[in-house]
Structure 1
Amino acid sequence: MRIIGGNLRGLKLADVGAGDAQAHLRPTTDRVRESMFNLLVNGTHGNPIPGARVLDLFAGTGALGLEALSRGAARVAFVDDGVAARALLRANIEKARAMGVTDVWRRDATNLGENRAKGYDLVFLDPPYGKGMGEVALANALKGGWIAPQGMVVWEESTAPPVVAGLTQIDQRKYGDTVVTLLRPA
């Protein structure tokens, strides 16, 4: 696993092997991540990355948020309540020398509570597949003010996710066994 583009391009991230089923660690493959970022950067909806405040829910290894930093995001908040995930995440933040522009929160991504700051411009959502956690996380993130009014959500799942009230789908692509859905607040 490595950073695909930007100023950290080629940086090898901490190895998790095939993932950690117990901790629900299933890193986004380099190929899917590259396709996802090509969709963001080259899509008709405008590139949301430069200068963005990014929220990486179910962050796991942090590869999505670190890829965004590499491509010009201003700051990333990583949310994961798994011990194994946070250890890998911290190792990857150190490898990227990104300690000053990242936050790591030990929280349940499905229950963030109220956001006391401004909403995030770009939200990555990579929940454990097929457990309905993405829907709950997004509904609570919207309710708590975590997503900026003009923000974008990038949701990775194994199947096309259901519609979440308050969000509008703007694009959806299938890459192998992964479905990537782009959403904006309605």
Structure 2
Amino acid sequence: MTRIISGFAGSRELKVAREGTRPTSDMVREAIFSGLDSRDVCEGARVLDLYAGSGALGLEALSRGASSVVLVEKGIQAGKLLRINAEMVRTVGNLTPAAIGVSVIAVSSYLASLSVRGSSSSGFDLVFVDPPYDMPEEEVATALTALVPALNDEAIVILERSTRSPAPALPAGLKLDRKKKHGETTIWWLENVIADVI
């Protein structure tokens, strides 16, 4: 069972597609959000959840105080359940429809469609990137590169990969803060960095 761990929607169960998704385990999510809570990242943050699956990561952030979340998932069946999960959390939290966006579209297409990038008023403060473990590293690197212009200054990107995957190739604008292994999963904590002005 996949559920929201804490916040206003704590313990609420999320619907998960039977195929095509790999929900982040409660243990890994607890570790991620313990780290985010220690930095007070979620409160008021604009969140983006790429390869969202059930939306467990993005909706958890919303439950813990994020101001808004956009959930991106290309799977049709997963997308239907994602909309149900989003509406459940929105209703429980008595949030406006604008607080949660769901895009049933490929991540590459979503990132390409962003019309305003890098603006502090419209960028993202926290991004979860949880692609399928068998996704080629080149595709992951391409997604990270396309993501950078949509990040606010000092944004945090949480990348989830298999422990067997190599270190991600980071584009200009992202640096590794730390990494942490949790069983078969490695969490890469990445930070948006402002290029030095010469």
Place the TM-score, normalised by the shorter chain, in its bin: 0.7 to 0.9
Partner of 1:171: 178
Q: Deviations over 1:51-93 (max 9, x none)?
A: 0000111111101000000100000011111102111101111
User: Does residue 110 of structure 2 align to residue 116 of structure 1?
Assistant: no
Post-superposition offset of 1:99: 6.3
More helix by share: 2
For residue 77 of structure 1, the aligned residue among 34, 49, 70 is: 70
Identify if the C-alpha distance between structure 1 residues 165 and 82 changes in structure 2 by more than 3 Å, giving closer, same or farther: same
Partner of 2:191: 184
- Equivalent residues of 2:16, 2:78 under 8 A apart: no
Structure 1 stretches of 4+ with a deviation exceeding 6 A read: none
Instruction: Give the distance between the partners of 1:85 and 1:160, measured in 2 at CA.
Output: 28
Instruction: Give the distance between the partners of 2:42 and 2:32, measured in 1 at CA.
Output: 12
Partner of 1:154: 158
Q: How well do the aligned residues superpose, as a CA RMSD in angstroms?
A: 1.6
Instruction: Give the distance between the partners of 2:34 and 2:13, measured in 1 at CA.
Output: 20
Amino acid across the alignment from 2:66: A
For residue 131 of structure 2, the aligned residue among 107, 116, 127 is: 127
Q: Percent identity?
A: 38
Amino acid across the alignment from 1:121: D
Amino acid across the alignment from 1:146: A
- Equivalent residues of 2:144, 2:171 under 8 A apart: no
Partner of 2:61: 68
**After alignment, is 120-129 or 146-155 more displaced?**
146-155
Partner of 1:137: 143
Post-superposition offset of 1:146: 1.3
Partner of 1:103: 101
Size of the alignment, in residue pairs?
176
- Equivalent residues of 1:135, 1:164 under 8 A apart: yes
Partner of 1:86: 79
Q: Structure 1: which 5+ runs fail to align? A: none
Q: Structure 2: which 5+ runs fail to align? A: 194-198
Amino acid across the alignment from 1:70: S
TM-score where L is the length of structure 1: 0.88
